[in-house]
Amino acid sequence: MSPSMRIASLVPSATEMLYALGLGECVVAVTHECDHPPEVAGKARLTRSVIPEGLTPAEIDAAVREVTGEGGALYELDEHALARLDVNLIVTQALCAVCAVSYDDVRAVAARLPTHPDVLSLDPETLGDVLDDAVRLADAAGAPIAVDFADWRPGDQPVYVSDIRKAQRDLHWSPQVSLDVGLRRLWNWVDSEIELCVEVPRVKAG
């Protein structure tokens, strides 16, 4: 990890991931919504919502529809504060248009900053994507994760997709157990065989 790495996190989940990777000391600024871990309390805040506080759910919905309907942004980024922090990495997201500062706005602001920071967008759609994002984030921060791979256990599957359409079409088969019942049976089995589970060590950046 570079001692000069200075990171601005514009997504609460990215903030938590940075701290989980042991990169909390590199985080110099976060969003107005970041509240975990407790150490973020003293970090500079770079964003704010344009929707006023104290509204009812219906009023919030109406306000969001009005702002987005006019092409406006729901969140504002404090460019002047960001410029003073000399960041070299900004972590954001482009998956949800109403969850954070616009990705395009972040890119535009980054291009105007004297430090020309890299912009990393974390946009997971699956659990696997979340794990991959942890690796990407550590790499971008100059602290790649040291990973040790053990031998596969019997029955381990790196990827598993259940698709019964071919069996239904070719064999005229239909499941006799509902998804809910099947999941409950699986949970009960794992719970009864908990000693077979191996604790996974916490991954830290190297």
Structure tokens at 21: 């990777």
CA distance 96 to 106: 14
pLDDT of residue 3: 57
Write the Ramachandran bin of 154: left for phi over 0, alpha for psi from -120 to 50, otherwise beta.
beta
CB 100 within 8 A of CB 75: yes
Q: Does domain 7-140 have CATH number 3.40.50.1980?
A: yes
Percentage above 90 pLDDT, the chain: 42
Residue 75 gets the label, from left (phi > 0), alpha (psi -120 to 50) or beta, of beta
Q: How confident is the model at residue 197 (pLDDT cuts 50, 70, 90)?
A: low
Q: How many other CB atoms sit within 10 Å of the CB of residue 22?
A: 18
Q: What local confidence, expressed as pLDDT, does residue 15 receive?
A: 95
Q: pLDDT tens digits for 38-59?
A: 999 999 999 988 888 888 888 8
Q: What local confidence, expressed as pLDDT, does residue 157 receive? A: 76
Query: What pLDDT, on a 0 to 100 scale, did the predictor assign at position 95?
Result: 83
More confident residue, 119 or 4: 119
Percent of the chain with pLDDT over 70: 93
Instruction: Tell me the C-alpha to C-alpha distance, in Å, between residue 89 and each of 10, 22, 53, 175, 188.
Output: 11, 16, 30, 50, 45
Q: How far apart are CA 82 and CA 153, in angstroms?
A: 48
User: Please, what is the average pLDDT of the chain?
Assistant: 86
The full set of domain ranges for the chain reads 7-140
**Beta strand pairing call for 7-9 and 27-30:** parallel
CA angle in degrees (0–180, nearest 5) for 44-203-139: 60
Please report how the helices 127-140 and 12-20 are oriented relative to each other, as an axis angle in degrees rounded to 10: 70
Examine the pLDDT at 188 and tell me if it is beyond 70.
yes
125 band by pLDDT with thresholds 50, 70 and 90: confident
pLDDT tens column, 138-171: 999 988 887 777 787 777 777 777 788 998 999 9
With bands split at pLDDT 50, 70 and 90, how would you rate the model's confidence at 110?
very high
SS3 content of the chain, % helix, strand, coil (to 5): 40, 10, 45
Label each residue of 9-20 as H, E or C. Answer: ECCHHHHHHHHH
69 band by pLDDT with thresholds 50, 70 and 90: confident
Do residues 12 and 96 lie in contact, with contact meaning Cβ atoms separated by under 8 Å? no
Segment 61-74 shows an average pLDDT of 82
Instruction: Please measure the distance between the N-terminal and C-terminal CA atoms of the chain and give it in whole angstroms.
Output: 8
Q: Tell me the average pLDDT across 185-200.
A: 76
